Amino acid sequence: MNISTDFYAHKNNLNRISPAVKLSWGILTMILSLLSPSPVIPIIVAFMMSFITVYIAGIPSRYYLKFISIPMGFGILTLIIMALFFGVEPSSIRFLYFKVYLDGLHTGFLVFSRIMGGFTCLAFISLTTPINEIFKQFEKIRIPRIIIEIALLMYRMIFIFIEEASTMYHAQETRLGYNGIKNSIRALGLLASNLFIRSWMQGEKIYQAMETRCYHGEIPTMKTHKSNNKWMIMVIAFEITLAIGIYFTRTINIL
């Protein structure tokens, strides 16, 4: 997760919809997608969530593809490994020098579809709902306040860590610190040794700034959304439809 993710979470076409609705829809859809015994519903969910995130929420397609590229790569790798090395009886189909197991191919594609269905739901939540609003919903389900506050501070410290690392790296790069293998190893060692200290110092400065603003262990946030029963009814109806679809497609294999 990076600064662009946080930016798009605040600046998208769905930011006026209640975070409770988006969280309920994303999490319930993800759970049903992971429970599906057939790859049909997870694949439909993956395409649907991608369409909503890119074309309705307005997230740039290039950034979205980059965002989901790592889990997609892991999913494809899992599919290939399971098709080539896991199965009962090999088929006549070959991939390079290996025989393809059809049962392994079916299982691998099911795992791949679940990965993509589940992660596109998480991507929808991450790219349309700011982190502070997500934590605000956690408060409503009785998660202890202290845990939420620690999570918020940890989230902020991640950005401090990334910012410090980026600043130090670019400073070293402008001084030709990565010119050659020997210099690169030396520069990387210096970066690693100083990164923790500088991040710690920045964290101390932030904490002191919070204390001067009367911080007493609680970060208040303004409630900007009202719960909308109409949206929640639509979410429930959609999830029921999805569950029915899972039941009727439970025996279907795409590959």
| pLDDT per residue as tens digits for the range 48-94 | 999 999 999 989 999 999 999 999 999 999 988 888 878 777 666 66
The angle, 0 to 180 degrees and rounded to 10, between the axes of the packed helices 131-140 and 145-174 is: 160
d(CA 232, CA 193): 50
Q: How confident is the model at residue 118 (pLDDT cuts 50, 70, 90)?
A: very high
Residues 83/95, Cβ–Cβ less than 8 Å: yes
Please provide the average confidence, as pLDDT, over all residues in the chain: 83
d(CA 230, CA 251): 34
Lowest mean pLDDT among 25-29, 203-207, 218-222, 247-251: 218-222
Task: Tell whether the model's pLDDT for residue 41 goes beyond 50.
Answer: yes
User: Residue holding tokens 């979410």?
Assistant: 235
The upper half-sphere exposure of residue 75, i.e. CA atoms within 13 Å in the direction of its Cβ, equals 20
pLDDT (mean) for 158-168: 80
pLDDT of residue 165: 82
pLDDT of residue 205: 80
pLDDT (mean) for 27-53: 94
pLDDT of residue 239: 93
Residues 135/152, Cβ–Cβ less than 8 Å: yes
Please tell me the pTM assigned to this model: 0.78
Task: Tell whether the model's pLDDT for residue 3 goes beyond 60.
Answer: no
Q: How confident is the model at residue 188 (pLDDT cuts 50, 70, 90)?
A: confident
- Separate counts of helices (H) and strands (E) for the chain: 9, 2
Residues 106/89, Cβ–Cβ less than 8 Å: no
Q: Which residues 6+ apart lie within 8 Å of 180 measured at CB?
A: none
> What's the pLDDT tens digit per position in 212-248?
777 666 666 665 566 667 888 888 999 999 999 998 9
Among candidates 197, 198, 178, which has minimal Cα distance to 187?
Answer: 178
Q: Which residues 6+ apart lie within 8 Å of 162 measured at CB?
A: 2, 3
pLDDT of residue 216: 67
Q: How confident is the model at residue 1 (pLDDT cuts 50, 70, 90)?
A: very low
Chain centre distance of CA 205: 30
